[in-house]
């Protein structure tokens, strides 16, 4: 929906001119801190998970106390709506005092903002003081977001991996491939589902299946318009044709989002679930949202993974404050707290072995929880398809399987 809205706005306002707001220089950090004091940063970020909301609230208290920056969490359901908002401001000729100072973003939405000049024009993220500890070599997705070069236009603040959850009492031998999952669904009808695309987690599940099933996965790294979409995706639709009648509620209804899918697992209606965070099950256990018998598994061939970021729009009214917040989000203190299962469980973007001893000790003390797989058990990281695949995948899924079809 939102990529189409963005395209319509671009067509309508193609002749509109908008200068970018002049951004502070992160290499002059003391000047940035001085400019940031007293600013209010409107941080547009997904608001669908209480643990994440609580973490952002903690960040707000810390940046207020340390730097005099007020952080307002503007809770959003779909980041594409934020992109459309910034695009509308650009088309209207706004050059400053925009409504969005910082946005949680990655993948398709970052590609759209970068392509359409909706971000600060000069690199800033890789010049922040905390960036020196980011693990660029070991976590290459911090530099290439769904294959699109970041170029210092967004700051990494967390890692994501698709991980499945199950209760060993219910599922003694969890399925460790897409084919094994299909066979398990056939043997256990009604016990598996996924959120309805275009929900992020539902689309992520489609991408995982496509990466697993495509005859030539390398084709997925190219823009969708340069390949035969029908041929590349044919194995995915054949797979979904096979399992859809055997899903929860016979595939006639789907959870609205990840929270709904997790609740089905907690209620015993389904037996396998998944999330885009290796520690999510442990976090849910710590917060009483899942039974403490739940454990994690991944496919033997690997699961898709990426980095999530924060970015500053071109017309941000508080760009100095936004940089201060982004820098704090990458700090060892904030990253270690975020990795605690009871807080969020989101993996760090930092190279922990390069940190000073006191910061390495922070990570050594992190409680990751009973359901979190150790890093060496997560298997290979599979790359995300190019961002241009998202809209066609969602549209074709809706045509074939959408409720009411």
pLDDT in tens, 271-309: 999 999 999 999 899 889 999 999 999 999 999 999 999
b/e code 255-271 from CB counts within 10 Å (16+ = b): bebbeebbebbbeeebb
Helices and strands: H and E segment counts in the chain: 14, 11
Say yes or no: do domains 2-159+306-372 and 163-305+382-401 share a fold.
yes
- Which pLDDT belongs to residue 17? 36
Domain 2-159+306-372: CATH architecture, name and number where available: 3-Layer(aba) Sandwich (3.40)
What confidence category does residue 404 fall into, taking pLDDT thresholds of 50, 70 and 90?
Answer: low
Q: CA–CA separation, 81 vs 78, rounded Å? A: 6
Q: For residues 280 and 368, is the Cβ–Cβ distance under 8 A?
A: no
- Asked whether the predicted pLDDT for residue 253 surpasses 90, the reply is yes
Residue 353 CB partners (closer than 8 Å, separation 6+): 360
Domain boundaries, the chain: 2-159+306-372, 163-305+382-401
Give the CB-side neighbour count of residue 304, counting CA atoms within 13 A. Answer: 27
User: What's the chain's average pLDDT?
Assistant: 92
Give per-residue pLDDT as tens, 79-125. 999 999 999 999 999 888 999 999 999 988 999 999 999 999 999 99
Residue bearing the bigger pLDDT, 14 or 319: 319
Q: CA–CA separation, 261 vs 22, rounded Å? A: 44
| SS3 of 28-92 | CHHHHHHHHCCCEEEEEEECCCHHHHHHHHHHHHHHHHHHCCEEEEEEECCHHHHHHHHHHHHHC
Residue bearing the bigger pLDDT, 249 or 146: 249
Is the CA virtual torsion 197, 198, 202, 206 positive or negative?
Answer: positive
CATH numeric code, 163-305+382-401: 3.40.190.10
- Closest C-alpha among 276, 260, 268 to residue 294: 268
What confidence category does residue 361 fall into, taking pLDDT thresholds of 50, 70 and 90?
Answer: very high
What confidence category does residue 244 fall into, taking pLDDT thresholds of 50, 70 and 90?
Answer: very high
């Amino acid at each position: 929906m939102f990529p189409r809205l963005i395209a319509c706005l671009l067509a309508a306002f193609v002749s509109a001119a908008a200068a970018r707001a002049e951004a502070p220089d992160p290499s002059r950090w003391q000047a940035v801190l001085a400019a940031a004091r007293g600013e209010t940063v409107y941080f547009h970020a997904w608001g669908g998970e209480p643990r994440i909301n609580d973490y952002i609230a903690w960040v707000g208290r810390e940046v207020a106390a340390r730097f005099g920056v007020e952080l307002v969490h503007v809770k959003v359901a779909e980041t594409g709506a934020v992109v459309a908002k910034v695009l509308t401001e650009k088309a209207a000729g706004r050059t400053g005092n925009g409504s969005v100072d910082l946005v949680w973003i990655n993948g398709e939405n970052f590609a759209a903002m970068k392509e359409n000049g909706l971000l600060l024009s000069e690199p800033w993220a890789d010049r922040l003081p905390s960036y020196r500890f980011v693990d660029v070599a070991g976590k290459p997705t911090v530099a290439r977001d769904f294959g699109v070069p970041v170029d210092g236009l967004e700051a990494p603040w967390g890692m994501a991996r698709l991980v499945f959850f199950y209760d060993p009492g219910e599922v003694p031998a969890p399925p460790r491939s897409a084919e094994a999952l299909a066979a398990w669904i056939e043997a256990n009808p009604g016990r598996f589902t996924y959120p309805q695309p275009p929900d992020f987690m539902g689309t992520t599940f489609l991408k995982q299946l496509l990466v697993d099933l495509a005859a030539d996965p390398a084709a997925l790294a190219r823009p969708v318009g340069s390949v035969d979409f029908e041929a590349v995706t044919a194995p995915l639709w054949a797979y979904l044709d096979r399992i859809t009648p055997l899903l929860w509620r016979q595939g006639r209804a789907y959870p609205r989002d990840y929270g709904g899918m997790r609740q089905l697992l907690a209620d015993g209606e389904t037996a396998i679930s998944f999330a885009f965070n290796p520690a999510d099950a442990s976090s849910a256990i710590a917060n009483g949202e899942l039974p403490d018998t739940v454990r994690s598994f991944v496919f033997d061939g690997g699961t898709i993974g990426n980095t999530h970021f924060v970015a500053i729009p071109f017309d941000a009214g508080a760009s100095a404050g936004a940089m201060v917040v982004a820098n704090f989000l990458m700090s060892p203190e904030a990253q270690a707290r975020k990795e605690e299962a009871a807080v969020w469980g989101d993996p760090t973007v930092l190279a922990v072995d390069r940190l000073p001893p006191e910061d390495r000790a922070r990570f050594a003390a992190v409680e990751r929880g009973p359901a979190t797989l150790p890093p060496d058990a997560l298997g290979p990281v599979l790359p995300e398809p190019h961002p241009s695949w998202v809209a066609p995948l969602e549209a074709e899924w809706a045509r074939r399987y959408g409720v009411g079809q």
